[in-house]
Amino acid sequence: MNQSVRSALIGLWFLLFAICFGLGFFLVELYQRSGDNQLKQEEAVVERASQSIQNRYANYLANVGGDGGPGNRAAEIRELNLLLSLVLAQFDGVEGGFWTPNEGFVAYAFPTYGGADVKKDLPQTELKTISQVCRDALQSTKPRLNYFTREHRALVVQATPVRALGGNAVLWTMGWATVKDSDLFGSVIGILSCLFFCSLLSGIWLFAFLYQWSKRVTQLEQAVCHVAIEQLSVLPMTGQVELDRVVSALNQVNKQLKESQAASAQLSRELARADKLSALGRMVAGFAHEIRNPLATICLSAENALEGATGKQERLLKAILNEGQELEGLLQKLLAVAKLSELKPQEIQLKSWLEERLNSQRLRADALGLSLSGEAPERIWFFDEESIGRAFNNLLLNAMQNTPSGGWVVADVKVQTDKCVFGVEDSGPGVPLDQREMIFEPLVSGRPNGIGIGLTIVREVTEAHGGRVRCIQGAVGARFEMEIPWQKS
């Protein structure tokens, strides 16, 4: 069964709480049996007994209709003895009576006496003490409660002045309480008190430890889970030995991971460099092949021109000129890629810029039997006019080369918040979905006589401006879009 450290600590804390509760309950029970507490309890019992006698005597006076009871004094004393017996029967161990300064003890009852017969004789050894308390109460006209220590017991006496027996009288009640605990009883309470406080402090300490543990585990979890693995920094120590061992292990793993990532990044850069060199090799091979053919034609035409008739020389020289122009075009494409690190962005008026691009291609469009149109807003954008113009011309040329005669090519420029989208759409056959990314790679062409560099230049120019180029499905054929962000500082 899997169990977390936190749940084990919580279980231990509940166990300590239960021990503290049990010890506390047991200490309360022992305290209630201790001497001081029994003295307080006995005082309360004696006071309640006195108050009950006073209440019953007040009812008695109300029933007989006077302040001093019946006129026969002996009958009144009998009534008082009866009242004492009835009331004190409810208070175990309490005896009491009435006292006057002239006659002394005139009524007495101890109905809960444990002997075989009803106790009617006064407690002779305590009469002097009771009399003194009664005198003090009568003199102060206020109730007096005193206790007197007798070895292991204490005598508790309550005296209250009352109007009875035809004059001033004092109602007294008395009880005994154990006030001295045995040495063993005191030792037990002391030991249990120590155990209780030790358990309580252990519970408090465990609660604080559990709180700190949970807090640090939560912080560690948040530090690890809510941060990307490549952004994870060195985790701080928590101060808990066990947790710090885990933190050290995580930091070591993090260090090894970052070293592996650095090595992987280095390998990726080397691989990218190798890919670029390979692509460059393929591009050079392709250009060498493309340049070799015009050069061979030029050489052959020149030889024929030297050996041929005068009328034939004009045709051969024109062929040489055409091939030279083809070579010039190839060199311009190569230079376009080489100059991407020398971009000179400036503010360009989009509408007039687009019209200029379209006008430069209208003769070619008319020769191919295509309709060429475009639309741009009266807005200004910031980019390198030469490189973006060359890339846009490549898109127009690519669209016209892949659109059958009688079709159309539409160019548009749209400004969207933080970017400008240059679009070229045609009515040609379109580009298959699985080739829409590949066609931007060098030396990839959909035409038999193409060298596959035009769209590569478009991609490089767009990315050099911080944008992107994509090929999507248009209304009929293909649609190419260059997204150029605003780059002016």
- Interval 319-375: pLDDT, tens: 676 666 666 666 666 555 555 556 788 888 999 999 998 998 888 889 899 999 999
Judgement on whether residues 305 and 366 belong to the same structural domain of the protein? no
Judgement on whether residues 336 and 390 belong to the same structural domain of the protein? no
Spatial distance between the Cα atoms of 63 and 65, rounded to a whole number of angstroms: 5
Q: Residues 6 or more apart from 64 whose CB is under 8 A from it?
A: 70
CA angle 69, 72, 78 (to 5 degrees): 75
Q: Residues 6 or more apart from 73 whose CB is under 8 A from it?
A: 165, 166
Judgement on whether residues 336 and 350 belong to the same structural domain of the protein? no
Tell me what the pLDDT averaged over the chain comes to.
77
Spatial distance between the Cα atoms of 47 and 127, rounded to a whole number of angstroms: 19
> Does residue 203 lie in a domain region?
no
Judgement on whether residues 306 and 361 belong to the same structural domain of the protein? no
Average pLDDT over residues 134-157: 86
> Does residue 209 lie in a domain region?
no
Domain boundary among 291, 323, 342: 342
Judgement on whether residues 247 and 307 belong to the same structural domain of the protein? yes
Confidence of residue 1 (pLDDT cuts 50, 70, 90): very low
Judgement on whether residues 41 and 74 belong to the same structural domain of the protein? yes
385 is in which domain, residue-wise?
A: 343-485
Backbone region of residue 474 per phi and psi (left: phi > 0; alpha: psi in -120 to 50; beta: other values): beta
CATH number at residue 409: 3.30.565.10
Which position has the token pair 């193409």?
A: 450
Q: Residues 6 or more apart from 330 whose CB is under 8 A from it?
A: 287, 290, 291, 451
Share of residues in the chain with pLDDT > 90 (%): 11
> Does residue 187 lie in a domain region?
no
Find the distance separating the first CA and the last CA of the chain, reported in whole Å: 64
Spatial distance between the Cα atoms of 4 and 241, rounded to a whole number of angstroms: 17
Which position has the token pair 């050079």?
A: 284
Domain boundary among 159, 180, 201: 180
What does the pLDDT read at residue 116? 52
Judgement on whether residues 451 and 401 belong to the same structural domain of the protein? yes
Q: What's this model's pTM, rounded to 2 decimal places? A: 0.40
Judgement on whether residues 357 and 337 belong to the same structural domain of the protein? no
> Does residue 352 lie in a domain region?
yes
CATH number at residue 58: 3.30.450
Structure tokens at 371: 């309709």
Strand order through the sheet with 144-150: 104-109, 95-100, 167-178, 153-164, 144-150
Judgement on whether residues 301 and 362 belong to the same structural domain of the protein? no
Query: Which has more pLDDT, 248 or 484?
Result: 484
Judgement on whether residues 324 and 356 belong to the same structural domain of the protein? no
Residue 96 clears pLDDT 80, i.e. is over it: yes
Find out whether 337 and 462 touch, Cβ atoms under 8 Å: no
> Does residue 127 lie in a domain region?
yes
Structure tokens at 350: 């989009």
Domain count, the chain: 3
